[in-house]
Chains A and B, each alone.
Chain A
Amino acid sequence: MNKNYMVSLIAVIVLFLIAYVGAAQGTGLQMVFGIIFPYLAILLFIVGFVRKVMGWARSPVPFQITTTCGQQKSMPWIKQAKIDNPSCTGGVVARMALEIFCLRSLFRNTRMKLKSGPHLTYQLEIFLWVAALAFHYAFFAVVVRHLRFFTEPIPCFVTLIENLDSFMRAEVIYDAIQVGVPGIYMSGLILLAAVTYLFLRRIFLPQVRYISQAADYFPLFLIMGIALSGIFMRYFSKVDVVSIKELIMGLVTFQPTIPEGISALFFAHLFLVCVLLMYFPNSKLMHFGGIFLSPTRNMAGNTREVRHVNPWNYPVKVHTYEEYEDDFRDKMIEAGLPVTKMPEEQA
């Protein structure tokens, strides 16, 4: 088991060092990490993502296998669970929105315990839901506020998120450490805390440890590495933000340049992001696209009301009533069961 996370941890450290040491060697390798990899990464990310989703879309949905999580639409005097067992598009949209934006199914999570008696108990287990929600929203906020490096002029929604994100002010000033200017972003810290929690539960919960693979630890370490290097650059080892924006604006306006004086730590940070983007479409991270296409959630529970069509439905060999009656005609007559053909009519 240890092997699984050690391999991933070492992989992320090696990736980090490759970029960190490489970028310190001068402009040549800085071009590789600052220009070539970012372009490659965004290309592979978009192409890989679209191919994966279209690959899923290529397979039809032959049956409407909604998981109904509440009372069906029935007689008017029985209250339907319109979101958990939707019977129309509106309900499905509401259900999907709750799944996507609130991770609703995860909110149901319980932890089972077998106590003496024997007595099985199921208690609410909300931490996975909290951590997952915190993780995703913090990640989203981090991505949005990074747009300040990707846009000129900076759109107001970016500034808005930035202001919200930094509304808590904290300053720490000692001889050895000074943090607080620039202002502290909550999202970065929440992201790091959530990712750490998600890692620790993989280590300490026996069931989760048992099912975890290297492919589960790798993205966690990668995101941890990205968050740590970002936080380090912002609060501790300051970097020349203006040059960094110059580099990024060069990329997004297709006039790539490598300005002078950018620290190697930034290239390492950027490289880990590139690795994440390239890894994304080939991994479980595709749950981002997959959640939209899950047939148990994105279909209505109205299969008896509206016929669902299977595009590859084909005729099958059946045992017809006529064949059945041929097999049992005499016995049926004797038992007084109706038959369609009397024995003497048989050829």
Chain B
Amino acid sequence: MKDKKIILVGVAIFVVVVTFPFWYNLGRSAPAPEVVLTPKAQAAEVCVMPTEFMKADHMKLLDVWRHDVVRNGNRIFVNPDGKAFEMSLSNTCLDCHSNTTEFCDRCHDYASVRPYCWDCHIENPKGE
């Protein structure tokens, strides 16, 4: 019957679409990207907050920093260990992580996240 053929085609399209991630990635493996720490970052051992927190929540921290600096004029961040940092993307974060392409971008590209940091800031303030 003619309509059965059309239905079969429809079902085939459905299966192809639904299994898209399986055949699209066929023959590839996509392990999580390795981030590269600069010697300076390695030497520092810990960031402004623990690594687990930084992995998931860094964007929130940066957002709050910006707010505090721009709106409240407060430039100093004190972490739970009592250590103080200047709240500055360029001067603090990028001081250690000066390798944005190997540090920031790897994960952001992997997760398809386009941060708008670089709309205003330059990626490499030190020009290294």
Contacts and interface: CB of A to CB of B under 8 A. Distances in A.
Interface of A: 42, 45-46, 49-50, 53-54, 56-57, 60-61, 147-152, 154-155, 158-159, 162, 171, 173, 178, 180-182, 238-243, 245-246, 249, 252-255, 259, 261, 289, 292-293, 311
Counting chain B CB atoms within 10 Å of each CB, which of A49, A57, A60, A292 scores highest?
A: A57
Contacts of A158: 112
B11 A152 contact: no
A87 B42 CA distance: 74
Nearest to A47: B15
B18 A293 contact: no
A322 B65 CA distance: 99
Contacts of A46: 15, 18-19
B31 interface: yes
Given A54-B11, A292-B10, A154 B112 contact: yes
Contacts of B24: 150-151, 155
B63 to A, nearest CB: 4
A45 B19 CA distance: 11
B62 interface: yes
A171 B14 contact: no
Contacts of B32: 242-243, 245-246, 259
A137 to B, nearest CB: 17
A311 B11 contact: no
Contact of B112 (A53, A162, A246): A162
- The binding surface of chain B is classed by DSSP as helix
Interface in B15-47: 15, 18-22, 24-25, 28-33
A171 B63 contact: yes
B7 A53 contact: yes
Nearest to A277: B18
A181 B25 contact: no
Contacts of A42: 18
Interface of B: 1, 3-4, 7-8, 10-11, 14-15, 18-22, 24-25, 28-33, 52, 55-57, 59-60, 62-64, 67, 107, 110-113
B60 A181 contact: yes
Contacts of B8: 57
Nearest to B67: A173
Contacts of B25: 150-152, 249, 252-253
B55 A240 contact: yes
A60 B7 CA distance: 12
A173 B28 CA distance: 41
Nearest to A244: B111
Nearest to A163: B114
Contacts of B113: 182, 241
B63 A180 contact: yes
Contacts of A240: 52, 55-56
15 contacts: A53-B11, A148-B111, A151-B21, A151-B25, A180-B63, A182-B59, A182-B113, A238-B60, A241-B111, A245-B110, A246-B30, A249-B25, A253-B25, A254-B22, A261-B55
